[in-house]
Each structure stands twice: as C-alpha cells, then as structure tokens.
Amino acid sequence: MVSGIRLTLMIGPVVSLPAARPVVEALTSVEVTVASGEEASGFELNFSLDKRSPLNTLFLVSGGTGIPLVRVILVVTLGGAPHVLIDGVMTHHQLQPGTAGGPSTLRVQGTDLSAVMDYLEFDGVPYPAMSPAVRALAVIAKYAWLGIAPIVIPSVIEDIPIPIERIPRHKGTDLDYLKLLAYEAGYVFYLEPGPAPGASFAYWGPEIRVGEAQPALNVDMDAHTNVESISFRFDKQAKETPVVFIQEPFSKVTLPIPIPDVTPLNPPLGLVPPIPPRIRFLDDTAHMSPLRAALHGLAHAARHADAVFASGTLDVLRYGRLLRSRRLVGVRGAGQAFDGLYYVKSVTHSLKPGEYRQRFELARNGLMSTVARVPA
C-alpha cells in the first residue's frame, strides 16, 4: 500500500492462509485498533466490490452457517521486519451499494481472538483452592488450539481461598470471567498477536510501565519533528486515594489504611504527581480478609492513577517504525511539564493506498519527566 511497507492479509477457518490476489487487490483501506486491555482490539477492512468479485461468496457466505469462525490475520512488513497487527475473527459484514453503476463497498469488521472466548457460558464451574492467577491459567488453557499461549503474572498479594470456607465459581463466559478476575486485581487482560502469524499471547497481569522505551515522539523540533499533531490534557480529578477498612480479628477494631497507586511494576512516570483531590472510602472491604481488602484497594488505586493524557497522530514513514501499544514511549519538545516517558494506552493503524498513519493515546501519573533524556 505504501512504498517500503507491505501488507499481508490472511483469511481462513481456524487456520488462516494468504488471501487470493483478487481479494487483496479489492482492499481499499484497513483500520486496526490495539487497546491496552479495557477494550478488545479490533479491525475494519473495506473492499471495492463489483458484481463478479469473488468477495461476494467468500465473505457473505462466511457470515452464514457454512463457516462458523473466519479468522483474519493482518501482517505489516516494515524495513524487512514483519509485525502482526491483529489476529482475530470476523464479526460483522456491511454492504453499501454503489451509485451510478459504480462498485459497491463491502465493510468487514471484527475483533481479536478474545471474541471466541465470549461464545459459551460456564457458570458454576468450581475452582477450589485456586488463586486468581491459577484460575486465569486454567481458563486460558482451553484456547491452545488457536495458538494462544498464556502469560499470567500473580498478584503481589495472593488470596488463596480455603475450600472449607469458600470455593470460587465461574461467572459468565470465559472472557467475562477473565476480565472480572483482572478487574478485582487491578490488572488487565488482552491478547497480543505474534510474533509469528497464527500465534498469540494471552496476557493477564498489571500494566507494566517499566522496560525499554520506544524512540521519542518529537514535537516542534523542525526537521526532527515526527508527529503530525499532539495535544495534552492534565486532569487531576481523575486521581483518587482509596482507603480500605481492615478488622483486627482479636479486638474487632476497624482500621482505615490508605493504599498508594505505585507498585514495582508501575513506577511513577511523572516527577510531580498531583495531590489526589478526593479520598475514596471502600466501605465494602470491612467484611473481607486483610489480603482481599488490600488487593481490592490496590486494584482501585491502579485504575485511578493517571492524571496526564496525550493524543495525536503520526506518519509511520516519518517516524521510521511502528508505534506499539502497551509499551513506553518518550516525548520531546512539548515543554518541561509534558516531556518525558508515557505509557501507550492505545494505537489505531490506518492504511490506505500511499498512506500509513497511526493515532495514539498516551497516559502517565504526573507532570515533568523522571528521566533526564528519552531514547531518540
């Protein structure tokens, strides 16, 4: 689609194969959104469709009962290195007839393979003496046939239920239950496609905001500028300090304990975090065990830690690489308050003939940089 960039489209039931040439030639635009866990990643393909196109049978029939699961894999090759943008399944088809005898437009939408985890409900399945991390592993193991391998990080506080006291049970579909477990632990759950087509990692764990940062997004730096637009927002109202209540077992005295929003895997990216304008008392923690109450407080703190946000667009060729979601990236030239490292919350890839752009959303917990330099 763009000079120096090659797009590979793979389609098939369960196992995807490279699409036929007429299908690829009919492709007019691609949009892929890679989120950080709150929402599933998704894609949208637009095809130019005439009456004799093989797409009439390939896609419209696949939306019926003949093929219950149509898998789509999109791979972008940049600088000789392949990058799997998404590995998912089709969920919606939309046909828009052309005007004045022109070709019609077929729009195909879908989500990542987490959609397969949302097909069946398994209410009531027991998990005796299993921590949330072990339960997540047991659920993800069902989908090895799709090439999904688990990456599960136990919580800093593991609450292992004693069977004579309580036995956790499955609620809803596998996707619902994985998201519930992640929410209660202050974690995220998402599927990371790659590194090879047909393989994916199911990640259940915290948003890891440590490690090597991607090359910086340069703002207002003349020839070194590599973003088309970027804007920043400071919202201190988004921060909250949760206070949990723990009952001392002998005296029955209830003790309030404030919970910080910083953990070893989620260090501060801003040097000056705002003072939280509100304190949230988690009254429902008083009847919990101390471990469960602390875990509940850590989860609430993790969901209300960010106060600085950024959004913008960039041209991939000018940036020289793909900006990847769920990783760190540096920002330069935005001013002392907003320069530094950010966590990439989401990236939307938009490909058209002769054009490859990305829209991005960034976040961190405070103003000013915690590092003297960011990777260039």
**Residue 160, C-beta contacts closer than 8 angstroms, at least 6 positions apart:** 129, 130, 131
Q: Which two tokens mark 256?
A: 């309030």
CATH of the domain at 69: 2.30.300.10
**Residue 65, C-beta contacts closer than 8 angstroms, at least 6 positions apart:** none
Q: How confident is the model at residue 358 (pLDDT cuts 50, 70, 90)?
A: very high
**What are residue 16's phi and psi, to 5 degrees?**
-90, 140
**Same domain assignment for residues 218 and 331:** yes
**Same domain assignment for residues 35 and 109:** yes
Residue 194 or residue 250, greater confidence: 194
**Same domain assignment for residues 223 and 363:** yes
Confirm if 216 and 224 have CB atoms less than 8 A apart: no
CATH of the domain at 198: 3.55.50
**Same domain assignment for residues 20 and 79:** yes
Residue 279 or residue 200, greater confidence: 200
Q: Residue 166 has what pLDDT? A: 85
**Same domain assignment for residues 51 and 164:** no
**Same domain assignment for residues 48 and 183:** no
**Same domain assignment for residues 124 and 182:** yes
Q: How confident is the model at residue 309 (pLDDT cuts 50, 70, 90)?
A: very high
**Same domain assignment for residues 267 and 288:** yes
Domain that includes residue 177, residue range: 120-205
Residue 376 lies in a domain: no
Q: Which two tokens mark 63?
A: 């939306």
Q: Which residues pair with 352 in a beta bridge?
A: 355
Residue 101 lies in a domain: yes
pTM, two decimal places: 0.88
**Same domain assignment for residues 28 and 66:** yes
Q: Which residues pair with 280 in a beta bridge?
A: 242
Q: Residue 76 has what pLDDT? A: 94
Average of per-residue pLDDT across 267-274: 85
Where is the domain boundary, 95, 113, 131?
Answer: 113
Average of per-residue pLDDT across 173-177: 94
Number of domains in the chain: 4
Q: How confident is the model at residue 69 (pLDDT cuts 50, 70, 90)?
A: confident
Where is the domain boundary, 113, 137, 154?
Answer: 113
61: pLDDT strictly greater than 80: no
Residue 326 lies in a domain: yes
Mean pLDDT computed over every residue of the chain: 85
Average of per-residue pLDDT across 316-338: 93
Sole residue written with tokens 């696949």: 62
Residue 352 lies in a domain: no
53: pLDDT strictly greater than 60: yes
**Same domain assignment for residues 139 and 124:** yes
Where is the domain boundary, 113, 134, 169?
Answer: 113
Q: How confident is the model at residue 67 (pLDDT cuts 50, 70, 90)?
A: low
238: pLDDT strictly greater than 60: yes
**Same domain assignment for residues 365 and 263:** no
Distances (CA, A) of 169 to 78, 160, 164: 46, 13, 14
Q: Residue 63 has what pLDDT? A: 55
**Same domain assignment for residues 46 and 78:** yes
311: pLDDT strictly greater than 70: yes
Give the range with max mean pLDDT: 7-21, 47-61, 193-207.
Answer: 193-207
**What are residue 67's phi and psi, to 5 degrees?**
-125, 100
Calpha distance 160→254 (Å, rounded): 23
pLDDT, one tens digit per residue, over 113-172 is 999 999 889 999 999 989 999 999 999 999 999 999 999 998 777 778 888 888 989 999
Residue 39 lies in a domain: yes
Residue 374 lies in a domain: no
Calpha distance 61→312 (Å, rounded): 39
Q: Residue 348 has what pLDDT? A: 96
Q: Which of 8-12, 150-154, 275-279, 284-288 has the lowest mean pLDDT?
A: 284-288
Average of per-residue pLDDT across 300-324: 90
Closest CA to 115 of 31, 168, 178, 48: 178
Q: Residue 259 has what pLDDT? A: 79
